[in-house]
């Protein structure tokens, strides 16, 4: 009977590599942090003067902030990868399979051709009227590049734009939102940002005055929210999604948590809803969304709607509805609800994470508040123009009759249908395993299975000074090379354990992953059933 | 004798356009803010429920933050521009000349061809091996694109990279720094960022715990610093540059201000130095830099070196030295000084503002602090990949023997020599004007002339509830269409008045600008000498 090896082969390695590896220190598993600090103190032993900054004199909010998606487990994986490169055959697997992060193109997803054609042409417009260009690029990409450059004053895609983004691109995005929702959208409500994250930070900066200000966030949540709140010194007010009800969002839970927070002297400023859910994958029903909108209006909360997975819905019985559409359908106007919708070019079928494009649509704020948001955007001048262009493209892809239309649809559908199949295969496989239950990934890019661990495994984790889910994930990594993120990085009902696994490995790899997962899980359970 | 018109024609316009114009409200000139608030209150008069957020319930740090480079004067300029478009001939000028911001390509500067070729090819690598591509692109740009894609795992330029940026690009940047300085640079010290601004914010977030933490900043300063400190609730500790000594940075002044701050209970954490200076254009002498380095070591301050204008030096007697080079030349190692150098693709001869590329080189911090910086970078995943690629290109441009080398040098030199001529012409012209004295722009992209205003002008400004320099800038805008930023947006010795004017309009426009400035200034002085 073999014990799963935790750390043994990586300890020295971690120490040795530390200086060349600036890595994230997680609070999860004290073993590695202990280790890192010893390395750090030795390196500064010969310091002549006391350093200007020490861990005890930095902003404590930074220390408090955590981001498990690129945390400790990923660092271990990177070390394993380097070991494999240096010494092939040194582990029971040949490659690391990164299922920790929603980063489709890193796992082989190809970009949408039309989008990349337009970006390339906007980067180098001097080839636009060359004859060779017509052989290399589709006619509609050339046409679109001309249109986009026409929107940019002087055609200067290398200039800072308006702080909210290029007006003509915001017009296109607003038209895309209108087409999606059937309700008007105002280009002056759009703030283009480098991915969705800076937009979330901007809203948190606006709303959070002190630790007495609270933000209602789902648990489990995407840790951008907890990190952003921690960095600004606010209080995360959790509301638990109901796992038994397919990660249902219950208004009674929102009310309860709001009242609890109020009783503690917390002023709750906003409600974060992630739809489709991350890490939980549920797609909200319209009636549920209506109740959420009502709740926000009644309680005077800003609704922060993370809608970056709006294109990622995999089940025919569910449909994405934007909160803006839902609230306008209810007859709610700007004066009834303050609503911010976040969108990104990193997700959907495009998965253009590296382009850092995104926007927020800001509605229901008075002009004086909008001005303050504008001012914050101005301090950073503008988001990157390629990301801005891409955000306009995803909200206005090729249309019937365009040269690229058919190939565009084929590329898009192949990606989305394949993601749906991958989600289903992984979900089914997980649900066959002893002690694992996994809700359907109706949308987004993740599965978030619950794992019920044998008492001995929990004791082993304790002995390793590790949370049980973290222990499980490390054992999985060490045995198979598969990287997933422990549920504790997202939050979970105390005493329950989960992990987040993306559905993004290419389809031809899924059977091998299922088999690795299955074999590992069986061995692990055999091991710890004792 | 005509009075300069201030506001008269724009007031109604400002109100009317407000809803479609999310604009920045400056504290400088209360007339416009009064105006904006009245507009805002009327628009919400019919509100059914009280809004979730009011100006009194947002984070007061946001309210406190100011950013004049895109402030009130720019808003007025945008309104004038719209009026000119709607009604040509409605003003005594035909176009707005934006001299408010260091945004070269918005004023017609062309991008460096080689850089854009590489970016386009990395955006759309599937054309790399097509024969038509060889007709459209230089051989070395094709070669460089292959090399860059080889650095990216799976060649996936659409994937999130390592949180610090793509390792291979950081290698290139480190090699560029080594070549520049003659001292080693470590790729793991490089953090790639979306322009320099997010890097500055990251360091301020790390260092500022409360209003008791101070950051020494030059006055005049680039208002990113004051804005970033205000948003994080820290204290800006000013040190005044000596205008009479060509905006000299005096150690005695640093010491005096540091002691004053300490006496007030402020813990000074860092010293910001902008070299070449913004808005002041001076280039520091090496001995001066050595004294600054010593001062930081003695006082245990982090040295935050804004070196984004490192390529912009226009006078043969001055040379840019990085603070890293200076400190290593003095024999100071990582253990002696905590030093962060900021670089950007927005400035130099490249001026690629819209690409949002940049990096910081972080040296002299212990591993545990570096980890915390890494964690902050991870929360935002990574900076945009095009910006990362461009940052590597500006630190590693074509070399002798490369196909593009000659055309690259010609493009670069034409831009830099022209900037030097423009700086000199504008400086000379300003110095001929009564009451204006202007230090040389040895580097960077700005002139920061001092204006001595007649008593009557100061009274007129008072009557208009406006700072005198703001009054002057508005009158200039209304008379000529030239947009400059009042000195009060950067800080200045109390009772002195300045404005910042970029040297960026294309060279063929400079004579007209000189003539407009001269005529305006004479009329203005005639008017108020009265």
Q: Within the 49-68 window of chain A, which residues sit less than 8 Å (CB to CB) from chain B?
A: 49-55, 57-63, 65-67
B34 touches chain A (CB under 8 A): no
Report, as an integer, the average pLDDT of A283-312: 98
pTM: 0.91
Give the model confidence (pLDDT) of A21-57 as tens digits: 333 333 344 333 322 333 333 333 334 567 889 999 9
The residue in chain B having the minimum alpha-carbon distance to the alpha carbon of residue A167 is: B21
Residues of A in contact with B124 (CB under 8 A): 116-117, 119-120
Contacts of B20 (CB under 8 A, 6+ apart): A186, A188
Question: Does a cis peptide bond (omega within 30 degrees of 0) precede residue B459?
Answer: no
Contacts by B45-48, CB closer than 8 A, 24 or more apart: B46/A335, B47/A335, B48/A335, B48/A336
Dihedral of alpha carbons B56, B57, B58, B61, sign: positive
- Would you give the DSSP letter of residue A335? T
**Percent with pLDDT over 70 in chain B:** 91
Q: Within the 413-432 window of chain B, which residues sit less than 8 Å (CB to CB) from chain A?
A: none
pLDDT at A95 over 70: yes
Q: How far is A363 from chain B (nearest CA, A)?
A: 12
Give the model confidence (pLDDT) of A433-477 as tens digits: 999 999 999 999 999 999 999 999 999 999 999 999 999 999 999
Interface test with B, best of A110, A154, A156 (most B CBs within 10 A): A156
Give the model confidence (pLDDT) of A333-344 as tens digits: 999 999 999 999
A302 touches chain B (CB under 8 A): yes
pLDDT at B306 over 50: yes
Report, as an integer, the average pLDDT of A294-318: 97
A144 touches chain B (CB under 8 A): no
Residues of B in contact with A49 (CB under 8 A): 297, 300, 335-336
Give the model confidence (pLDDT) of A359-389 as tens digits: 999 999 999 999 999 999 999 999 999 999 9
Say if residues A188 and B22 touch (Cβ distance below 8 Å).
yes
Q: Within the 374-393 window of chain A, which residues sit less than 8 Å (CB to CB) from chain B?
A: 374-376, 378-387
Give the model confidence (pLDDT) of B423-457 as tens digits: 999 999 999 999 999 999 999 999 999 999 999 99
d(CA B267, CA B215) in angstroms, rounded, equals 9
A121 touches chain B (CB under 8 A): yes
Residue A50 is predicted with a pLDDT of 74
Dihedral of alpha carbons B280, B285, B289, B292, sign: negative
d(CA B21, CA A289) in angstroms, rounded, equals 31
Give the model confidence (pLDDT) of A102-136 as tens digits: 999 999 999 999 999 999 999 999 999 999 999 99
Give the model confidence (pLDDT) of B366-406 as tens digits: 999 999 999 999 999 999 999 999 999 999 999 999 999 99
Residue B465 is predicted with a pLDDT of 93
Contact A19 B367 (CB under 8 A): yes
Q: How far is B506 from chain A (nearest CA, A)?
A: 13
Contact A231 B206 (CB under 8 A): no
CA B6 remoteness from chain centre: 28
**Percent with pLDDT over 90 in chain A:** 87
Nearest to B509, CA basis, from B413, B425, B411, B416: B425
Q: Within the 473-502 window of chain B, which residues sit less than 8 Å (CB to CB) from chain A?
A: none
| Averaged pLDDT score across all residues of chain A | 90
Report, as an integer, the average pLDDT of A414-438: 97
Q: How far is A180 from chain B (nearest CA, A)?
A: 22
| Per-residue H/E/C for A130-186 | CHHHHHHCCHHHHHHHHHHHHHCHHHCCCCCCCCCCCHHHHHHHHHHHHHHHCCCCC
Q: Within the 199-218 window of chain B, which residues sit less than 8 Å (CB to CB) from chain A?
A: 201, 205-209
Residues of A in contact with B44 (CB under 8 A): 335, 366
Residues of B in contact with A159 (CB under 8 A): 103-106, 353-354
Contact B355 A198 (CB under 8 A): no
Nearest to A208 among B59, B365, B379 (CB): B59
Nearest to B381 among A43, A65, A197 (CB): A197
Residue B38 is predicted with a pLDDT of 33
B119 touches chain A (CB under 8 A): yes
Nearest to B40 among A364, A368, A374 (CB): A368
Residues of B in contact with A209 (CB under 8 A): 57-60
Report, as an integer, the average pLDDT of B290-301: 98
């Amino acid at each position: 009977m073999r014990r799963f090896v935790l750390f043994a082969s990586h300890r020295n390695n971690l120490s040795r590599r530390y200086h060349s590896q600036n890595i994230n220190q997680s609070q999860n598993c004290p073993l590695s942090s202990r280790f890192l600090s010893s390395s750090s103190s030795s390196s500064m032993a010969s310091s002549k003067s006391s350093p200007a900054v020490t861990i005890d004199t930095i902003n404590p909010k930074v220390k408090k902030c955590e981001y498990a998606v690129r945390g400790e487990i990923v660092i271990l994986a990177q070390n394993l990868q380097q070991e494999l490169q240096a010494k092939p055959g040194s582990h029971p697997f040949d490659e690391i399979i990164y299922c920790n992060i929603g980063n489709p193109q890193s796992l082989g997803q190809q970009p949408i051709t039309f989008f990349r054609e337009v970006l390339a042409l906007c980067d180098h417009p001097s080839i636009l009227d060359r004859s060779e260009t017509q052989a290399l690029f589709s006619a509609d990409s050339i046409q679109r590049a001309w249109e986009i450059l026409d929107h940019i004053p002087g055609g200067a895609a290398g200039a800072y734009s308006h702080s909210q983004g290029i007006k003509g691109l915001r017009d296109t995005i607003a038209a895309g939102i209108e087409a999606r929702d059937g309700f008007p959208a105002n280009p002056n409500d759009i703030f283009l940002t480098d991915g969705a994250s800076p937009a979330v930070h901007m809203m948190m900066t606006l709303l959070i005055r002190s630790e007495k200000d609270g933000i209602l966030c789902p648990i489990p949540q995407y840790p951008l929210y907890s990190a952003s709140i921690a960095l600004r010194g606010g209080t995360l007010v959790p509301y638990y999604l109901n796992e038994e009800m397919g990660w249902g969002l219950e208004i009674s839970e929102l009310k309860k948590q709001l009242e609890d927070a109020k009783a503690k002297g917390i002023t709750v400023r906003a409600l974060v809803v992630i739809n489709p859910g991350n890490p939980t994958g549920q797609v909200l029903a319209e009636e549920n969304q209506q109740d959420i909108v009502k709740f926000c209006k009644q309680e005077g909360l800003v609704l922060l709607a993370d809608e970056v997975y709006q294109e990622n819905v995999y089940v025919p019985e569910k449909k994405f509805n934007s909160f803006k559409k839902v609230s306008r359908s209810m007859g709610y106007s700007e004066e009834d609800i303050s609503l911010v919708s976040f969108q990104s070019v990193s997700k959907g079928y495009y998965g253009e994470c590296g382009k850092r494009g995104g926007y927020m649509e800001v509605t229901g704020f008075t002009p004086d508040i909008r001005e303050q948001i504008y001012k914050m955007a101005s301090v950073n001048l503008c988001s990157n123009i390629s990301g801005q262009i891409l955000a306009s493209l995803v909200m206005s892809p090729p249309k019937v009759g365009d040269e690229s239309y058919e190939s565009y649809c084929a590329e898009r559908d192949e990606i989305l249908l394949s993601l749906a199949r991958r989600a289903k295969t992984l979900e089914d496989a997980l649900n066959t395993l002893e002690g694992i239950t996994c809700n359907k990934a109706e949308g987004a890019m993740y599965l978030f299975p619950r794992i019920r661990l044998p008492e001995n495994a929990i004791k082993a984790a304790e002995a390793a000074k590790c949370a049980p889910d973290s222990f499980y994930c490390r054992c999985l990594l060490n045995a198979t090379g598969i990287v997933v993120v422990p549920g504790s990085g997202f939050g979970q009902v105390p005493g329950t354990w989960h992990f987040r696994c993306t559905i993004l490995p290419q389809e031809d790899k899924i059977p091998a992953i299922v088999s690795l997962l299955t074999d590992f899980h069986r061995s692990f359970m055999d091991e710890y059933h004792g």
